[in-house]
Structure formats: C-alpha cells, structure tokens
C-alpha cells in the first residue's frame, strides 16, 4: 500500500508529517515573498509638470558595438528634460568614437573619459563615481551599456518613483528571450531573484537592486560617502549600495512592461558560472537581516525537497510524495503566473517548479567553484 496507515508513529509517518509541514511552510513563504509583485497595482506615472530632470549614467568599457545598437534607445526617451552621461572607462576599441558621433545628433549626450593609469587600477565603482560627479541633476538613473529599455517610457516610469521621501527606485533588469534551456534557466534565476528583492521593496524592506535598472538621488550617494564602505570589493555597486542606503521609507518599486531593461543572457554554462561568481562576492557584505532573509529562502526550499525526496525511499509514502508535490506545483503556478505576467516573463511560470529544482542543484556548484576562482576586472555584466 503506497500510503502510511498512521496506526502507530514510525519512520514513514514522521517523514509524511515533516513533508506536509515543509509544504505548508513553503506555500506560506511563496505568498509572503513572491505574491506582492503579482498583486502590485500602484502606478508611478506622474503628470508632465511634476517630472524633474534626470541624469542617466552608463559606464562603458570596450562597448562600441553595444552602444551603437542600444544607446539610441536611451537617448530617445519620452521625457521633458534629461541628460545621458556615458563614462568611457579606458576603452581601447571605438567606444569614444561612437559616443562622439551620437553627441553630434543628441545634444543631451555627455561623454566622460577615464584614461588608463599605470599606477592606479580601478573597477566599475570608480567609473560610476566619475559619472555621478559629472551629473548636473539630482535624480540619477543607471543602466549598462549592453542594456536597452523596453520602451520610450522607461525613464518616465522610473523617474516617477522619486518623491520628497523616496530616494531609491528599484526596477527590473531582465534578459532577452532566446531558444534553449539555458536561456530559460538564466532568465528564471534572474526573475526569481527580482521577485525576492522587488517584493521586499514593496514591503518597505528593500535590501538590493541591480545596476541594469536602478535609480537613486545624488544627495543620498554623497550622504553615504558613496561606495566607501565596500570600495575594496570589485562588485556591489548596485546591491551593496542599496543594502546600505535603503530604509523602511525611502525606497520605491517600479514594475511595468514599459519600464524593464533587457540585455543578452550568457550562452554557455561556463560564462554564466563566472557571472554568478562575481555576484556571489557581495553576499558576505550584506547586513545581518538580509543574510537571514536570503538564507531562510534557500533553507525552506531545500527543506521541502529534502523531505519530498525522503518519501521515495519508502513504498508506503509514494502517494504522499505525489500528492504533496502536486499541491506545491498548483500553488507555485498560481503565484508565479501573476508575477510573470506583471514582469513580462509569461513563458517561465508553467515550468517554474522544474527550473527551481534545477537551480537548487546548480547553486551549490556555483558556491563550491567560487572558492577556486578570483573575480576578474569589471565588465558591464
């Protein structure tokens, strides 16, 4: 009989109860952590007379091809007054030429050059600081050279998140859709991470953002002395800054199909692993509350799958395992369906249970291999 009789308390009954408890905890966790994004109804759009000028900052290192393709989409945003600052960081390709040619067409484009110094090596944070110091407006919006906005209203939507009390605006930086399983896995990983930090922002508990789509005020940057507390770390210009700067009242969230930025995902597992290594270098620098939140998220998922797998080792718990897993899939599909529609990732929700399981197998690989790899110099990704 593939179901425990529960006439006495044995290993099968204990495993069944643990698995049921783990499922309940997981479903509650899904609703608390991921549901807020799917149910967010607030629109940030404001009348034109309230739209303050914005400085868009893009750091570029050997990005002539990406700038040629994507920079016009930033320069042609539908907004009354803004400037675009491109920081040419020691490029040896045609990056500077591309910027100069666009500057002949767009008077609001400003170039800042950083020359190579044989005695002082710097990372992306220095380039961002140079861009911020060169910005003439208080409201700053950041993206990368290999990114493009989803519409001409990206700037309008993100800038609308600013107010007298809101100093940070978190947006969604997605990856473009391509054929293949790896593309879906990378996009789901990005989607899942975004669900976590955007929901936290909605609940006034913001802890990170991504530089592909992030806005904050210049005064806030200088108030916190920029990246001084983590300047020694190669990465973290986005998530570590938000982790330090965000409070319960100063952060807004912008989720709209017209306010997403897109970039190309890695095309090989090796490249993706290297990218994840750079991102993982910032995790130890998060504050204690953030570490607890992220750790709990991972623990709850492993707890469920561990309990679920354990049921397969006993003949009388097979139906329990199947039933619990089907319930998990149903609730996950409901929650992720709403969120994926909100974030324009409609092709991911149906197999979210499978992508999530694969990621739980892959994450330990990233953490172990990271121990044997040193982070490289900064790139836009």
Q: Is it the case that residue 347 has pLDDT exceeding 80?
A: yes
Q: Look at the pTM and tell me if it is higher than 0.85.
A: yes
Q: Does residue 354 belong to any structural domain of this protein?
A: yes
Q: Does residue 3 belong to any structural domain of this protein?
A: no
The tokens describing 238, both together, are 């986005």
Same domain membership, residue 300 and residue 250: no
Q: What is the pLDDT of residues 62-83, one digit of tens each?
A: 999 999 999 999 999 999 999 9
Q: Which one has a higher pLDDT value, 304 or 374? A: 304
Residue 116, by phi and psi: left (phi above 0), alpha (psi -120 to 50) or beta? beta
**Residue-level pLDDT at 232:** 84
Query: Where is the domain boundary, 209, 235, 268?
Result: 268
Percentage helix, strand, coil for the chain under 3-state DSSP, each rounded to 5: 50, 10, 35
C-alpha to C-alpha distance for 217 and 130, rounded to whole angstroms:
15
**Residue-level pLDDT at 13:** 77
Task: State the average pLDDT over residues 360-369.
Answer: 91
**Residue-level pLDDT at 236:** 87
Q: Which residues contact 6 (CB under 8 A, 6 or more apart)?
A: 13
Please give the mean pLDDT across all residues of the chain.
89
Same domain membership, residue 323 and residue 186: no
Same domain membership, residue 136 and residue 53: yes
Neighbours of 313 (CB within 10 A): 11
Q: Is it the case that residue 15 has pLDDT exceeding 90?
A: no
Q: Does residue 319 belong to any structural domain of this protein?
A: yes
What b/e sequence results for 257-285 when a residue is b if at least 16 CB atoms lie within 10 Å of its CB, and e otherwise? Answer: ebbbbbbebbeeeeebbbbbbbbbbbbeb
Q: Which one has a higher pLDDT value, 236 or 373? A: 236
Same domain membership, residue 352 and residue 209: no
pLDDT-based confidence at residue 1 (cuts at 50, 70, 90):
very low
Same domain membership, residue 29 and residue 133: no
The least confident of 40-44, 101-105, 253-257, 260-264 is: 40-44
Q: Does residue 4 belong to any structural domain of this protein?
A: no
Same domain membership, residue 313 and residue 244: no
The least confident of 179-183, 234-238, 357-361 is: 234-238
CATH number at residue 55: 3.90.550.10
Q: Does residue 6 belong to any structural domain of this protein?
A: no
Q: Is it the case that residue 47 has pLDDT exceeding 50?
A: no
Q: Which one has a higher pLDDT value, 47 or 155? A: 155
The least confident of 30-34, 114-118, 219-223 is: 114-118
The upper half-sphere exposure of residue 281, i.e. CA atoms within 13 Å in the direction of its Cβ, equals 21
Same domain membership, residue 172 and residue 60: yes
Same domain membership, residue 111 and residue 23: no
**Residue-level pLDDT at 198:** 96
Q: Which one has a higher pLDDT value, 300 or 280? A: 300
Task: State the average pLDDT over residues 250-278.
Answer: 93
Same domain membership, residue 141 and residue 95: yes
pLDDT-based confidence at residue 357 (cuts at 50, 70, 90):
very high
Q: Is it the case that residue 381 has pLDDT exceeding 60?
A: no
pLDDT-based confidence at residue 48 (cuts at 50, 70, 90):
very low
**Residue-level pLDDT at 123:** 84
**Residue-level pLDDT at 30:** 93
Query: Where is the domain boundary, 268, 297, 331?
Result: 268
Q: Does residue 32 belong to any structural domain of this protein?
A: yes
Total structural domains within the chain = 2
**Residue-level pLDDT at 8:** 54
- Give the percent of the chain with pLDDT over 90: 71
Q: Which one has a higher pLDDT value, 121 or 88? A: 88
Phi, psi dihedral angles at 193 (to 5 degrees)? -60, -45
pLDDT-based confidence at residue 43 (cuts at 50, 70, 90):
low
**Residue-level pLDDT at 369:** 86
Q: Is it the case that residue 274 has pLDDT exceeding 50?
A: yes
**Residue-level pLDDT at 2:** 57
The upper half-sphere exposure of residue 128, i.e. CA atoms within 13 Å in the direction of its Cβ, equals 30
Q: Does residue 278 belong to any structural domain of this protein?
A: no
Same domain membership, residue 51 and residue 131: yes
Same domain membership, residue 252 and residue 217: yes
Find the domain containing 59 and state its range. Answer: 43-268
Q: Does residue 53 belong to any structural domain of this protein?
A: yes
pLDDT-based confidence at residue 5 (cuts at 50, 70, 90):
low
Same domain membership, residue 31 and residue 48: no
């Amino acid at each position: 009989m593939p179901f425990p009789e529960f006439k006495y308390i044995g290993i099968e009954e204990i495993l069944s109860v643990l698995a049921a408890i783990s499922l309940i905890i997981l479903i509650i966790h899904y609703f608390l952590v991921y549901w807020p994004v799917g149910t967010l109804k607030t629109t940030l759009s404001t009348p034109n007379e309230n739209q303050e000028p914005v400085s868009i900052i893009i750091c570029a290192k050997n990005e002539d091809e990406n700038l040629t393709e994507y920079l016009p989409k930033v320069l042609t945003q539908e907004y009354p007054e803004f400037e675009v600052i491109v920081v040419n960081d020691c490029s040896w390709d045609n990056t500077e030429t591309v910027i100069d040619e666009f500057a002949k067409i767009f008077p609001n484009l400003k170039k800042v050059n950083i020359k190579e110094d044989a005695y002082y090596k710097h990372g992306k944070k220095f380039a961002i600081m140079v861009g911020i110091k060169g910005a003439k407006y208080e409201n700053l919006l950041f993206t990368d050279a290999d990114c493009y906005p989803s519409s001409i209203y990206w700037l309008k939507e993100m800038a609308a998140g600013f107010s007298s009390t809101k100093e940070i605006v978190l947006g969604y930086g997605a990856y473009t859709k391509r054929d293949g399983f790896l593309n879906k896995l990378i996009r789901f990983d990005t989607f899942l991470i975004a669900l976590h930090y955007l929901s936290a922002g909605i609940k006034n508990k913001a802890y990170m953002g991504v530089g592909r789509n992030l806005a904050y005020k210049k005064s806030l940057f200088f108030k916190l002395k920029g990246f001084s507390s983590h300047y020694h770390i190669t990465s973290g210009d986005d998530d570590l800054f938000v982790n330090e700067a965000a409070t319960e009242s100063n952060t807004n969230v912008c989720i709209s199909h017209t306010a997403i930025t897109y970039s190309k995902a890695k095309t090989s597992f090796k490249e993706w692993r290297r990218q994840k290594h750079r991102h993982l270098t910032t995790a130890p620098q998060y504050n204690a509350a953030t570490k607890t939140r992220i750790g709990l998220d991972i623990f709850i998922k492993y707890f469920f799958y561990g309990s679920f797998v354990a049921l397969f080792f006993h003949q009388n718990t097979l139906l329990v395992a199947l039933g619990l897993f089907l319930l998990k899939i149903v609730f996950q599909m409901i929650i992720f369906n709403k969120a994926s529609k909100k974030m324009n990732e409609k092709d991911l929700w149906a197999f979210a249970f499978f992508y999530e399981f694969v990621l739980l197998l892959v994450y330990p690989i990233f953490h172990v291999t990271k121990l044997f790899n040193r982070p490289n110099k900064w790139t836009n990704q």
